[in-house]
Amino acid sequence: MTIRPELLQRPRQREHERGWIFRAIGVEPFIQCAGVRTLYGASNPSDEVIVAMNAAAEAFVDMDELAEAAGRRLAELTSAEWGVITAGTAATLALATAACIAGNNPELMLRLPETSGLPNKVLIPSDQRFSYEQAIRIAGGEIVSVATVEGLAEALDGSAAMICLLGRMDSASGLPLSAAVPLARAHGVPILVEAAGLSPEKPDRWVKCGADLVVYAGGKYLRAPQSTAIVLGSERLCKAIWWNGAPHQAFGRAMKLGKEEIVGAVVALDRWMNFATAKHDRDQWLPRLKLIAAELNTQPGVRTEVLSWPGSVTAVRLKVSWDEEVVPFSAEDLRLALLGQRPRILIHDFWSTPTSIVLDPVNLGDDEAEIVGRALARAFREPRCIAERPSTLQAEADVSGGWCIEIQFLHGSATHHLDLEQNKTHISGVHHTGSSSGKLSGEIHGDHIRFEAAHEQIPMSLFYGFEGKVAEDGTISGTVQLGGSAKEHLGPVFKGQYGSAEFHASQSRVTPDSSTLSRRIQRRFK
């Protein structure tokens, strides 16, 4: 099955201003310099993908027959044994787990996620733990960390269903694919490589090196439909993934994708590997960064540097750093200021340091790169318009002591506790939930209090960002931002990714149990 590129061209005229459809429903779009993050729509489908999807919407097919044809075409494109299109990388983690536990045995398929008595452990190197592991657990997989080759050998005791590796961490890991393959082969345990943001090749590098399955995000650099992923590898496991997912009445029925998305993803992979338009897109990334750099290199105290990470990151990027003595704002001040202007400009949060940002060119047009360059140059010329002025108000209350907090979530509530210490306007202490404790820090100015509690966990730490006012009766009320993040994604966006809740706090006597817990936690943090 081959589709000629010339059949997939779309007329270039645009009847409306870019982003008009979002404005029509009350959402202001932005110029996207933050890479291909799902939170911001990842990437836009290419013209060829949109034409293919529109063509697929004109007729009907049997979805199983379409999956068979798509699998065959993916194999032709990559020299893998087979392929399957899924409803995204996280869905693939769940479906691959289901496939490795149940195959297409209907009795086991309909048991999922109940896997007691079955080989259900998913082994992950301890230096490759990542944020999306919950997708493995919802299929009934039990995650087990292994740190060494010896640890992997010990864990392959008949209870393991799958080994999961993070492709972008492979070269730096103490347990890379090359070390895992011999043991996995000897014990008949499949290996899945999560390569969401990496670039597929022919032949596929991961499959060639011994992986049984590898998954690539469709809606990132490939510019496939955003909700898709492309899985390559073992024909039997790819087909087991398909049978465990929609449209079938099995575990993965909720992970549905349409015929248009399947066709669009296949065309996107073909385009990425074979079409001149895709190569042209990639060839524009560096020139667009240079357009931005040219606007900034003459600004006092500002430096630019092109970054690339061969084999681990698909696109080049531009690092912009500045001297805090010359430019008094932080990267977060700049991020918020750029989002507040028109046109809005989005830059990354967790790639930043206090005095540097990193820009990704993948979703920029030439005109947008010029707009970004000019906006950044203006910010660095007039930095005091952006810098947040610290409050000079003294604290109007002393909040030291034990506190009981009632948190009202969107559904349900919880009681937490605080042990606070105050030194002038600085707040420190420990936040206790029902199951964990985390160190907190913040400040109080006037009657306004703000502090953040971090609960360190693997693979994702939890964050609670409290902000409120101290009332005349000594209670505190306000809102708490809820989030979670792995270390590599640490930034204000993920720290608030679960929304907000309301809280009301009152001082309480510290019970013996909570006092003991507080001392234990304080010692751990010292």
Give per-residue pLDDT as tens, 163-210. Answer: 999 999 999 999 999 999 999 999 999 999 999 999 999 999 999 999
- Whether omega before 203 lies within 30 degrees of 0, making that bond cis, reads yes
CA 98 centroid distance within chain: 22
Give the bridge partners for 346, in sequence order: 32
Other CB atoms closer than 10 Å to residue 26's CB: what's the count? 6
Helical (H) or strand (E) element with 274: helix 259-274
Pairing of strands 160-166, 191-194: parallel
How far is it, in rounded angstroms, from Cα 304 to Cα 254?
45
How far is it, in rounded angstroms, from Cα 182 to Cα 307?
35
**To which residue do tokens 């103490």 refer?**
174
Residue numbers in the chain where pLDDT is lower than 50? 511-512, 514-526
Q: What is the pLDDT of residue 199?
A: 92
Q: Where are the alpha helices (DSSP H) in 8-62?
A: 20-24, 47-56
**To which residue do tokens 């034990």 refer?**
402
Q: What is the pLDDT of residue 477?
A: 98
Can you say whether residue 191 is alpha, beta or left, with left for phi > 0 and alpha for psi between -120 and 50 degrees? beta
Q: What is the pLDDT of residue 519?
A: 44
Q: What is the pLDDT of residue 315?
A: 87
How far is it, in rounded angstroms, from Cα 138 to Cα 110?
14
How far is it, in rounded angstroms, from Cα 514 to Cα 520?
10
132 neighbors 90 (Cβ within 8 angstroms):
yes
CA torsion 252-253-256-258 (nearest 10°) is 120
349 neighbors 335 (Cβ within 8 angstroms):
yes
CA 111 centroid distance within chain: 30
Q: What is the pLDDT of residue 525?
A: 42
| Dihedral sign for Cα atoms in the order 7, 13, 15, 16 | positive
Q: What is the pTM of this model?
A: 0.91
How far is it, in rounded angstroms, from Cα 485 to Cα 494?
6
508-524 pLDDT, tens digit each: 865 435 444 444 344 44
In the chain, the amino acid numbered 34 is: A
| Burial of 513 (C-beta count, 10 Å sphere; 0-12/13-18/19+) | exposed
List phi, psi (to 5°) of 252. Answer: -90, 20
Distances 447 to 4, 46, 408 between C-alpha atoms, Å: 67, 52, 22
Distances 32 to 29, 313, 367, 408 between C-alpha atoms, Å: 9, 18, 12, 34
Can you say whether residue 120 is alpha, beta or left, with left for phi > 0 and alpha for psi between -120 and 50 degrees? alpha
Q: Extract the runs of DSSP E, i.e. beta strands, from 342-499.
A: 344-346, 356-359, 401-408, 413-423, 426-432, 437-445, 448-455, 461-470, 476-485
CB under 8 Å to 306, separation ≥6 — which residues? 286, 289, 293, 316, 317, 318, 319
CB under 8 Å to 187, separation ≥6 — which residues? 156, 158, 160
